[in-house]
Structure 1
Amino acid sequence: MSDLQARFEQAYADAQARPERPDNLTLLKLYAAYKQATEGDNGRDKPPFSDFVARAKWDAWKKLEGTGREEAMQKFIDTAEAVRAA
């Protein structure tokens, strides 16, 4: 396992264990970076406009289209560390 992969998995575990919930924008950034790192580009159908949560998640993930796995992992780590430092 690479150092980046280990740091990514640790950042994910730390984010899951946090007692405080980050704001919604930060949650979307974490979600999008995680999905891009683990699944790659968003190829799912666009949710209906009336499903606000699913649509926001889809849009956030779609914005990272073309981002490489390693870069997405680093984005997740950076965002998770910013949350922890706040």
Structure 2
Amino acid sequence: MTSKVEKFGDSDLSQLRNELLDAGLDSFQAAQVLAAFLSIRGYGIGTEQARDTVLRLENSNCTLDCMQQELERVALVM
């Protein structure tokens, strides 16, 4: 099955990763950053799902490809 979520640019994903890891955000703030990232690009995500996604990204030390796959999995096309 083909994903309906675009491939995000490496620079966008890298910027998102840096903001999530380096800004000293708690899980609620990081979830808001992730939700805003997706929203700006026309996608949605539930609050609880955003928190779960942020925790998975942090715990797995995701590469950019890993982040792309995770965002494809959780982003809701609006």
TM-score, normalisation: structure 2: 0.33
Whose strand fraction is larger, Structure 1's or Structure 2's? 2
Rg larger for: 1
TM-score, normalisation: structure 1: 0.31
